[in-house]
């Protein structure tokens, strides 16, 4: 049944908590492989939901699920080497929470009931919090509390938004199951006032978890304090799950004839997120926080693309895929830098190209990719969003979009050049290991591969995802 996709990692995560660490590491890899296999079976339509009133395999959900499962496999491979070299405290807790995190995120992607979706997103907060606190430092404790409190407040607002959507159905006395599939079928009959109120609260609530400014304040601390495998999952997978909640409600708004209202809100939050990220990236002293603010910027890019619609919507979904691949790779490379230099501060690093040449290739290529240079997929996704804004006559949005992209690149380029080529001491704490480099290479090569050739199955799923909003590859 389809529910096995999230039940498997949850059960194996619970078992890993009680087993010796040596077995836990094996369980982590085995669970990642089995989860990817189940995900592929779900893609092929071989898994049917046992509880169809709560779960279904929507195109957007399957897409996020595949991305999550794929990057989790390579993050897990990296984590095995990372844990052995850092002598991590409470490693069994780390492995257990990684698997529980995968299970709850998978549950988000398959949820068709708004309240089940809300429960799953809230569960991701609870099971990922120990990953941030695993080093048990004062800074990690502060980041964990900020993460839990801010995201919980945001999720509470999202719950209120779900109640408002329910009211939009009850006030009109519509007899339909409370699922996104059923709501879309009767969207034209829903009360527009309560729908608008519901979208506002869901945008703020799930937008907090997605990392949109100004609700993003938990994200830089959490991403910088978490171990690199956890940071890669937070940025590459969790933010997509929060976006999925917003996207489903945006589809409902569009079908109800309120698409312009929700689109303008998405564009507004997207531009603010990009601008705030660009300001904080300038002169950023911590390279992991730099990557965190880059995630804020890229979530803004996705929000703008979805808000513009048309060919920009296709670009936004492409951006989601490629950002997950490239940003996960960057956080893994940042983990290698942290192990080698023993500091997250830019001023205490340097000469990466000579001291860690394999990591340098992955880190610099990741920077080029996330900055929108070919042959990485973000080049085409941002180009499509620019074209979409031009076609729709959104010239003010287009000008702000390009300005923010330039601002982010200018700030990030200076820092990356400093890390890569500036003079540094010769004291290296840990040497490079291929097991910590190969996952980054595979993720980057996947982005390049998808830029050069998009498999037909993935292309059709993207088209199925965006066609309900009027999105297409032709504008």
> What would the DSSP string read from start to end of 24-45?
HHHHHHHHHHHHHHHHHHHHTT
**Gap between the Cα atoms of 434 and 420, Å rounded:** 19
Question: For residue 89, is pLDDT > 90?
Answer: no
Q: Which of 328, 162, 147 is nearest to 229 (CA)?
A: 328
Give residue 471's pLDDT: 66
Residue 348 above 80 pLDDT?
Answer: yes
Are the C-beta atoms of residues 329 and 443 closer than 8 Å to each other? Answer: yes
Q: Which is higher by pLDDT, 276 or 430?
A: 276
Could you tell me which of 362, 263, 371 has the C-alpha nearest to residue 319?
Answer: 371
- Contact assessment for residue 304 and residue 270, using Cβ atoms and an 8 Å cutoff: yes
| Helices 91-110 and 239-255, axial angle in degrees (round to 10) | 10
Contact 428, 340 (CB under 8 A): yes
Helix (H, G, I), strand (E, B) or coil at 22: helix
Q: Which residues contact 183 (CB under 8 A, 6 or more apart)?
A: 165, 169, 176, 190, 252
Dihedrals φ, ψ of 111, to 5°? -70, 130
> At 344, phi and psi to the nearest 5?
-90, -5
Identify the pLDDT of residue 425. Answer: 63
Q: Which tokens belong to 434?
A: 């291929």
Rounded CA-CA distance 230/75 in Å is 8
- Percent above pLDDT 90 for the chain: 76
DSSP 8-state secondary structure symbol assigned to residue 285: S
Residues 123 and 101: their CA atoms lie apart, in Å, by: 8
Residue 472 confidence (pLDDT)? 64
- 96 pLDDT above the threshold of 80: yes
Residue with tokens 């969207």: 187
Q: What is the pLDDT of residue 84?
A: 82
In whole angstroms, give the CA distance from residue 198 to residue 242: 16
Three-state DSSP class for residue 345: strand
What is the pLDDT of the chain when averaged over all its residues? 92
What is the per-residue pLDDT across 210-245, written as a single tens digit (0 to 9) for each?
999 999 999 999 988 899 999 999 999 999 999 999
CA dist 94 and 356 (Å) reads 27
Please tell me the distance from the alpha carbon of residue 232 to that of residue 223, in angstroms, as a whole number.
8
Query: Which secondary-structure segment (H or E) carries 426?
Result: none
The Cα 226–Cα 137 span in angstroms is 11
Using DSSP, state whether 351 is helix, strand or coil: coil
Q: Tell which residue, 452, 291, 451, has the closest CA to residue 363.
A: 291
Phi, psi values for residue 278, rounded to 5°: -60, -40
Which tokens sit at 396? 């003010």
pLDDT band, very low/low/confident/very high, at 405 (cuts 50, 70, 90)? very high
Distance CA 31, CA 224 (A): 26
Q: Is the pLDDT of residue 88 over 60?
A: yes
The C-alpha atoms of residue 48 and residue 334 are separated, in whole angstroms, by 40
The two structure tokens encoding residue 183? 């709501």
Cα(294)–Cα(220) distance, rounded to whole angstroms? 10
User: Position of tokens 């059709």?
Assistant: 460
10 Å CB burial of residue 90 (0-12, 13-18, 19+) is middle
pTM reported for the whole predicted model: 0.95
Please report which residue ranges of 134-286 form alpha helices under DSSP H: 138-170, 180-185, 192-210, 218-225, 228-233, 239-255, 259-281
pLDDT of residue 33: 97
pLDDT over 90 at 442, yes or no: yes
Query: Is the pLDDT score of 126 beyond 60?
Result: yes
């Amino acid at each position: 049944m389809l529910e096995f996709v999230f039940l498997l990692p949850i059960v194996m995560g619970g078992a890993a908590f009680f087993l010796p660490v040596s077995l836990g590491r094996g369980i982590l890899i085995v669970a990642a492989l089995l989860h990817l296999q189940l995900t592929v079976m779900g893609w092929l339509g071989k898994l049917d939901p046992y509880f169809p009133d709560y779960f279904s395999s929507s195109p957007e959900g399957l897409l996020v699920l595949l991305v999550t499962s794929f990057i989790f496999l390579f993050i897990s491979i990296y984590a095995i080497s990372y844990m052995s070299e850092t002598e991590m405290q409470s490693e069994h807790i780390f492995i257990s929470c990684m698997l529980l995190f995968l299970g709850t995120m998978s549950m988000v992607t398959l949820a068709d009931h708004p309240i089940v979706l809300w429960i799953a997103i809230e569960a991701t907060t609870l099971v990922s919090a120990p990953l941030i606190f695993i080093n048990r430092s004062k800074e990690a404790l502060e980041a964990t509390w900020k993460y839990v409190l801010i995201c919980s407040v945001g999720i509470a607002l999202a719950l209120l938004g779900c109640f408002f959507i329910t009211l939009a159905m009850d006030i009109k006395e519509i007899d339909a199951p409370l699922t996104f599939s059923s709501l879309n079928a009767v969207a034209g009959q829903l009360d527009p006032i309560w729908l608008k109120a519901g979208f506002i609260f869901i945008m703020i609530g799930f937008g907090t978890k997605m990392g949109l400014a100004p609700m993003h304040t938990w994200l830089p601390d959490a991403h910088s304090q978490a171990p690199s495998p956890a940071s890669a999952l937070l940025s590459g997978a969790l933010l997509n799950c929060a976006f999925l909640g917003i996207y489903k409600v945006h589809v409902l708004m569009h079908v109800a004839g309120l698409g312009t209202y929700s689109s303008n809100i998405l564009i507004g939050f997207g531009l603010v997120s990009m601008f705030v990220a660009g300001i904080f990236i300038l002169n950023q002293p911590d390279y992991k926080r730099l990557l965190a603010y880059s995630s804020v910027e890229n979530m803004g890019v996705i929000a703008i693309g979805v808000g513009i619609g048309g060919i920009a919507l296709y670009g936004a979904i492409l951006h989601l895929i490629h950002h997950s691949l490239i940003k996960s790779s960057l956080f893994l490379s940042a983990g290698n830098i942290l192990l080698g230099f023993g500091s997250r501060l830019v001023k205490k690093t340097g000469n990466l190209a000579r001291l860690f040449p394999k990591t340098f290739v992955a880190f610099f290529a990741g920077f080029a990719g996330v900055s929108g240079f070919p042959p990485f997929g973000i080049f085409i996704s941002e180009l499509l969003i620019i074209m979409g804004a031009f076609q729709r006559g959104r010239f003010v949005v287009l000008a702000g979009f390009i300005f923010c992209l330039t601002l982010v690149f200018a700030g990030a380029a200076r820092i990356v050049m400093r890390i890569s080529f500036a003079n540094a001491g010769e004291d290296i704490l840990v040497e490079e290991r291929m097991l910590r480099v190969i996952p980054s290479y595979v993720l980057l090569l996947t982005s390049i591969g998808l830029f050069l050739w998009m498999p037909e199955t993935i292309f059709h799923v993207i088209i199925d995802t965006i066609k309900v909003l009027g999105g297409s590859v032709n504008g």
